[in-house]
Amino acid sequence: MTTEETTQVLHSEPRIRVGGGWISALVLANLGLFMAFLTPIQILLAEQIDALDPSGKEVALGWATGVGALVAVVANPLAGALSDRTVGRFGRRRPWILGGAVVGAVGLAVTAAQTTVVGVALGWCLAQLGLNAMLAGTNAVVPDLVPVRQRAAVSGFIGIPMTLGLVVGALLVTTVVTGIATGYLLLAALTVLCAVPFVLLTPDPQVPLPAREPVRLKDFVVSPRVYPDFGWAWVTRFLVMLGNAMGTLYLLYFLKDAVHYPDPDEGVLILTLLYTAGVVVTAVAGGVVSDRLGRRKALVSVGSALMAVASLMLTLWHTWPVVMGAAALLGLGFGVYIAVDQALITQVLPRAGDRARDLGVINVANSAPQVLGPALAAPIVAYAGGYAGLYLTATVVTVLGGVLVWKIRSVP
């Protein structure tokens, strides 16, 4: 790391483009991370809780994932703030990436051994603690080192493992290994292994002593009056992710109870493949277009609109062909959305020296819907229209998120 690169990380927006090796190592680390995040929620936790409490599986799954998401709400910004202030020759981000991967792996192993719903929830909380520490580090390296005009494209590459992680994870736990516990243990090992190349092979600048400040509770409250664009970015991300959380939490049960698909596990895998194909098609392409045009908000709205249409399809028709079409359309929309919105967010962060902390605050908008989503989804499915009512609500929330992005003024 040269003096110029270190200075740009600490005091200004980066100017030196990152290379393919750096991007590949970060994509691999994110692949392991999102395999550990998403595969349990979509498959392992759902199956484990279904076996433990089949009659109350919807409420139990919502409770377990909601408590885990609540841990994430606290862990991610706190780990980010500590990462911003970490001292040592290994840099600021790498200790948290590797340490978080190890703790997350231990949490997955603990979850695998549980025989009660409470035990599963506690193990998942430990996994969320470690994985969110890792996420704080991997998120922060993008604004640390990637120039603005390359940022949406890089975010597009990183967006691919957010969905590919579930595909690879689903294939591994349904075809490569058998048994819920074995699936957890395999994901645990891969989380650490995928993090190692980025930690060992990429630079991570240290922060000079004068740039470090103590962590204070008030630092985690970013005033929307002082930083209105940051506030609107948070709100729009929260709404879109809330719609996504409500629409995907009960996917296994939706296929089983509403679509009556004969093999729901297989159905989840097929839909995930279609969804991932859509993301792969649009994530990097959407990011490149956004970087070249220098425009973010219009593409964020387009991505949100596509996701809303997909959710509306599930509201109106509960047939397998429609569900497959909706999965592909959802992936196309999410690919554009996540690449461009992530780049937009990095352009409205309040302070360069607190990037990981501020991205942790933004990540609350990713995690909080995992808490609120089950609280809203369970009563809707039970008392307010079933799955049609659930997906209609998700449609409305997603549309609102896509509209409110236009409140942001400092980014075109």
pTM for the whole thing? Answer: 0.85
Report yes or no: 286 and 338 within 8 Å, Cβ to Cβ.
no
The answer to whether residue 8 sits within a structural domain is no
| Single-letter code of the amino acid located at 49 | I
Report yes or no: 222 and 231 within 8 Å, Cβ to Cβ.
yes
| Single-letter code of the amino acid located at 127 | A
Q: Report the C-alpha gap between 359 and 84 in whole angstroms.
A: 11
The answer to whether residue 212 sits within a structural domain is no
The answer to whether residue 256 sits within a structural domain is yes
If one counts the domains in the chain, the total is 1
Tokens in use for 310?
């997909």
Tokens in use for 272?
């995930």
Domain range for 397 is 13-202+223-407
The answer to whether residue 6 sits within a structural domain is no
The answer to whether residue 216 sits within a structural domain is no
* First CA to last CA distance, the chain: 32
Closest CA to 173 of 184, 162, 163: 184
What's the DSSP call for residue 16? Answer: S
Q: Report the C-alpha gap between 19 and 167 in whole angstroms.
A: 26
Report yes or no: 325 and 316 within 8 Å, Cβ to Cβ.
no
pLDDT value for 7: 47
What CATH number should be reported for the domain holding residue 80?
A: 1.20.1250.20
Task: List the pLDDT tens digit at each of the 412 positions of the chain.
Answer: 444 444 444 556 788 899 999 999 999 999 999 999 989 987 899 899 999 999 888 789 888 988 998 898 899 999 999 998 887 788 889 999 999 999 999 999 999 999 999 999 999 999 999 999 999 999 999 999 999 999 999 999 998 998 899 889 988 998 899 899 999 999 999 999 999 999 999 888 766 645 556 666 666 677 788 889 999 999 999 999 999 888 887 888 899 889 999 998 789 878 988 998 999 999 999 999 999 998 999 999 999 999 999 999 999 999 999 999 999 999 999 999 999 999 999 999 988 778 888 999 898 898 788 778 877 888 898 888 889 999 999 999 999 999 999 999 999 8
The answer to whether residue 157 sits within a structural domain is yes
Q: Report the C-alpha gap between 71 and 83 in whole angstroms.
A: 18
What's the DSSP call for residue 85? Answer: T
The answer to whether residue 214 sits within a structural domain is no
Closest CA to 390 of 198, 235, 257, 192: 257
The answer to whether residue 215 sits within a structural domain is no
Q: Report the C-alpha gap between 277 and 34 in whole angstroms.
A: 16
